Structure 1
Amino acid sequence: MAEQQKIHPVPDVEAPPQTSPTAPLVPEGTLKSDRGKPVEEYPPFQRTLPAMHPKPPKKRSCFCRCLCWTLSLFLLLIVILGIIVGILFLVFQPKLPKYSIDRLQITQFDLSSVDSSLSATFDVSITARNPNKRIGIYYEGGSRINVWYTETKLCEGSMPKFYQGHRNTTVLLLPLSGQIQNGTGLLTTLQEQQQQTGNIPLRLRVKQPVRVKLGKLKLMKLKFSVRCGLVVDALSANNAIRIQSSSCKFRLRL
């Protein structure tokens, strides 16, 4: 039996080496320079800013809402009251009353022989004028009238209750009385001033509660004060006292 021959495959030396047809010669992302070396390409520089997040709106608290409503209602009330006062002013055209002291008579002004107290009794004539066409004045009880010399109260009294109508003039004759303890020094001072200057300054103060009547509407009680300064030629009993000057100022308080 003939010996079998072994056949060995011979490689083809003329075949080119197998390479991947899609492999690039230059790595991706680089540029080929003139010398054959690849040049890396960098992305352009970009400046990044921090992200800005909008702040959530603040919620108003219940207190702020209540305060805003309260202020709005208060302003509205002021506007309404201003309108009402303006209408009343145009309709009634209010004017302040006027007062004057017309006469002063002293019925008693002497010292007591027992305790040296000074007793004083004055009769004061006051004229009250109401110039309003549609406004009346109710003079209520609880008034007070004082007569002062410097810091010493000489006598006091009150006004009667009465109603003063529209455009009315009322003359009041008011008795005032008082007693000053240790009046010897005061009487001496008054006599010296009368001899030196020929006049004695006095101050008269009136505090009076009233009610104003607008048409048929009677308003709440108010208080007014009258301050009068007068100068007389003497302070002595049973003599004619002449008023040299007199001026009064009116002031209203709620």
Structure 2
Amino acid sequence: MAEKVYPSKPTPIGAAPANPPFPATKAQLYGANRPAYRPQARRRHRRGWCCSCCIFLTLLVLALLFAAAILAAVVYLLYRPHRPSFAVSALKLSYLNVSQSSSTVISKFDLNVTAKNPNKKLVYYYGPITISVYSDGVDVGEGSFPSFVHGTKNTTLLKTTIASNGGGGAIDAAPLAKLTSDMKSKNGLPLEVKLETKVKAKMGSLKTPKVGIRVTCVGIKVSVPSGNATATASTAGAKCKVDTRVKIWKWTF
């Protein structure tokens, strides 16, 4: 009786043979048939979020600046604000002495300052005003004005006494020699008056924050009197400049 021959099942393409040869090949050990590993690209969601945030903040700042510019333009058109002006209307010197032994100054001045508010709709609120009088950089007297309210289209006359009792400390030799020489000069002693204060403005029901200002007046000359006489300074050529002083953290501009 003849043997029946059964055909073998074909091996699927890509499949390992049922009985792999021994020993195993490298392909079998390391899984050569596995697909190669490909690292996936990192997602960039975080970078995209940061970029969007920066764009948003930039647009927000630009919008705020644009709104502030529009508000400033509206305020200017409605109120036409102008800076106040100051002038040294009178200055009298009672005495000015320099102590050579202690290198200090003893003095007394009578000072009148005229403040003008040219605005029709702005009221200024001044805090206490400190005054310093200098000659060639040497402090020869100090004083103050009290706080006051400066109404619209108003001119206010401020009067005070400036004095120095030598308590400001010793003066260096070079400035002291220059001051002594100017006191004897026929051209008179040059003086510089500085005022510092803080002021805020009121426009209708709106009040601004306080802003520091400095007023510097130059072009003043006075002859030093002798004895009990009083000398009147020449203020015809005096000019006063008003500067704002904005303080940001530790710095004043």
Q: What is the CA–CA distance in structure 1 between the aligned matches of 2:183 and 2:59, rounded to whole Å?
A: 65
Which residue of 32, 49, 61 maps to 1:74? 61
Question: 162-171 vs 116-125, which deviates more?
Answer: 116-125
- Map 1:182-197 onto structure 2 (within 5 A): 185=177, 188-192=180-184, 194-195=185-186
Cα contact 1:102–1:127 (8 A) shared by 2: yes
Against the structure 1 CA distance between its residues 74 and 115, is the aligned structure 2 distance closer, same or farther, given a 3 Å change threshold?
A: closer
Against the structure 1 CA distance between its residues 187 and 75, is the aligned structure 2 distance closer, same or farther, given a 3 Å change threshold?
A: closer
Against the structure 1 CA distance between its residues 107 and 118, is the aligned structure 2 distance closer, same or farther, given a 3 Å change threshold?
A: same
- 2:202 alignment partner in structure 1: 213
Q: What is the CA–CA distance in structure 1 between the aligned matches of 2:179 and 2:62, rounded to whole Å?
A: 59
Which residue of 234, 239, 242 maps to 1:247? 239
Cα contact 2:124–2:151 (8 A) shared by 1: yes
Count, aligned residues: 196
Q: What is the CA–CA distance in structure 1 between the aligned matches of 2:202 and 2:232, rounded to whole Å?
A: 37
Cα contact 2:135–2:192 (8 A) shared by 1: yes
Q: Report the AA paired with residue 98 of structure 1.
A: S
Shift of residue 240 of structure 1?
Answer: 3.0
Identity of aligned residues (%): 26
- Please state whether the residue corresponding to 2:202 is helix, strand or coil: strand
Per-residue CA shift, 1:14-40, capped at 9, x if unaligned?
xxxxxxxxxxxxxxxxxxxxxxxxxxx
Instruction: Please identify the structure whose Cα radius of gyration is greater.
Output: 1
Q: What is the CA–CA distance in structure 2 between the aligned matches of 1:129 and 1:205, rounded to whole Å?
A: 17
Q: What is the CA–CA distance in structure 1 between the aligned matches of 2:114 and 2:231, rounded to whole Å?
A: 19
Q: What is the CA–CA distance in structure 1 between the aligned matches of 2:118 and 2:195, rounded to whole Å?
A: 20
Per-residue CA shift, 1:36-74, capped at 9, x if unaligned?
xxxxxxxxxxxxxxxxxxxxxx87521111100000000
Structure 2 gap segments, 5+ residues each: 1-43, 247-253
Structure 1 gap segments, 5+ residues each: 1-57
- 2:81 alignment partner in structure 1: 94
- Map 1:24-173 onto structure 2 (within 5 A): 61-111=48-98, 115=102, 117-141=104-128, 143-173=129-159
Q: Report the AA paired with residue 245 of structure 1.
A: G
Shift of residue 112 of structure 1?
Answer: 6.0
Q: What's the C-alpha RMSD, in Å, of the aligned pairs?
A: 2.7
